[in-house]
Amino acid sequence: MAGLAQLAQARGYRVSGCDQNVYPPMSEQLARAGIELMQGYKPEHLDACNNGQGADLVVIGNAMSRGNPVVEAVLNRGMPYISGPQWLAEYVLKDRWVLAVAGTHGKTTGSSMLAWILESAGLQPGFLIGGVPGNFPVSARLGEAPFFVIEADEYDTAFFDKRSKFVHYRPRTLVLNNLEYDHADIFPDLAAIERQFHHLVRTIPGGGLIVVNGGDENLSRVLKQGCWTAQESFALSDTEADWQIRSDQNQQNGFSVTLKNKLVGNGCLKLPGEHNLMNALAAIVAARHAGVHPQDAIAALQNFRGVKRRLEVIGDYRGITVYDDFAHHPTAIKATLTALRQQSGSGRVLVLLEPRSNTMRMGVHNRELQEALASADLAWVYQLEGIAPGLERELAGNVVICRDLDQMLAQVAEQARTGDYIVLMSNGGFDGAHAKLLRILQ
């Protein structure tokens, strides 16, 4: 929603909004843009905006539900309202060449990589990304026609539109990264998510391109439901995929790319992990559809600076390196910790996790979470009362459940020693744990 606000402002609209529990980096971005942010969901915010003249249109995010005071006021007053994805489709994406990155994991990093490749090629793309790319000062911009890169989320659109958000975007180039069960609060099973991905596939024109993870059986099932668009598959090496990427053991984060078993080029990332190699390859293939030569894309990725809150170093004290990471699904947690382990050498990996997503709070991924945290030397899970039922029974001996944040941070600081890597994982603000831990370590 912060990204939408910036796009609307760039289109010339006067924009304000309200939210609860706002935290960086988006709160900082809105402040720099001069977009008024009102705290809480009070009906009077609808009157206070636009210099007291009130709102002409209310864009309602998918976190809002019936019973919310502002939502009820909008409905009772008969005010014009629209969902974020529909507003985007009608006011921004119309007549643009949309490149969408979809999947359970890798959407933010993959779309950031793709936007940077197009930018490096001089194409000045617009973009809307659910994070702040290191190569850009903002998470959203209009850019120059025709290209627009978007992180395509499968979560539902709004309380009045239960389709996935991405069905509104009508991409010409679609990346399908992977597909797992998630969002247990709105999807009863994996088949329900696959159905939404099938709806997305139905919107891709015959002259477009679907870039698909060739090793994902769930995506394969989706495409078998019906596909009318050319496909190019990508995967790690030693598969039957069209495009393959292989890690270069002689260079840290180095890689080589092949197409139909013929070498395309060699490169290097600043980011560790096989999951980031997959993100990079998908971005290279998608950019090629927009006219960027793969060798130019590979060269651009060597200067890709990552994304805020994706294994981002936020402090280094007495040889203790502290990271912030957004991972909130067991698969993403495991991939991040595996990548961190690869570069940590003999250093220990300490994890602080806030299971904050609705799916994690429901305890759906408890067993998978145990496996994901197994590679950590020590782990602390910040679990408030009533969250993730049964979690304590599932977790292994290297994991401590904490319900007092200050007590947990004190334990972490007491255990930490020179050479350790500490990673805080949350898709929220973590009750300010990042700043508090850094102060303690200092």
Domain boundaries, the chain: 2-79, 86-301, 312-441
Mean pLDDT of the 133-145 span: 93
The pLDDT tens digits of the residues spanning 284-299 come to 999 999 999 999 999 9
Q: At what angle do helices 366-373 and 330-344 cross, to 10 degrees?
A: 0
Q: How far apart are CA 117 and CA 111, in angstroms?
A: 10
| Right CATH for 86-301 from 3.40.50.360, 3.40.50.300, 3.40.1190.10, 2.40.50.140 | 3.40.1190.10
Model pTM?
0.84
The yes or no reply on domain 312-441 and CATH 3.90.190.20 is: yes
Mean pLDDT of the 178-193 span: 87
Phi, psi torsion values for 104, nearest 5 degrees? -70, -35
Which comes out higher in pLDDT, residue 121 or 432?
Answer: 121
Q: Is the pLDDT of residue 80 over 60?
A: yes
Q: Is the pLDDT of residue 121 over 90?
A: yes
Q: Which of 248, 249, 231 is nearest to 240 (CA)?
A: 231
| Right CATH for 2-79 from 3.40.50.300, 3.30.420.40, 3.40.50.720, 3.20.20.150 | 3.40.50.720
The pLDDT tens digits of the residues spanning 373-421 come to 888 889 998 876 555 555 555 555 678 888 899 999 999 999 999 999 9
pLDDT at 384: 63
Please give the structure tokens belonging to residue 206.
């015959």
Q: How far apart are CA 270 and CA 149, in angstroms?
A: 22
Q: How far apart are CA 234 and CA 222, in angstroms?
A: 16
Which comes out higher in pLDDT, residue 50 or 233?
Answer: 233
pLDDT category of residue 161 using cuts at 50, 70 and 90: very high
Q: Which of 370, 429, 428 is nearest to 401 (CA)?
A: 370
Q: What is the mean pLDDT of the chain?
A: 90
Mean pLDDT of the 360-370 span: 67
Q: Is the pLDDT of residue 82 over 70?
A: yes
Which comes out higher in pLDDT, residue 97 or 22?
Answer: 97
pLDDT category of residue 113 using cuts at 50, 70 and 90: very high
Q: Is the pLDDT of residue 138 over 70?
A: yes
pLDDT at 396: 59
User: What are the residue ranges of helices labelled H in 209-291?
Assistant: 217-224, 274-289
Mean pLDDT of the 200-217 span: 97
pLDDT category of residue 357 using cuts at 50, 70 and 90: low
Whether omega before 25 lies within 30 degrees of 0, making that bond cis, reads yes
pLDDT at 408: 93
Please give the structure tokens belonging to residue 81.
């309202």
pLDDT at 289: 98
Q: Which of 295, 314, 283 is nearest to 109 (CA)?
A: 283
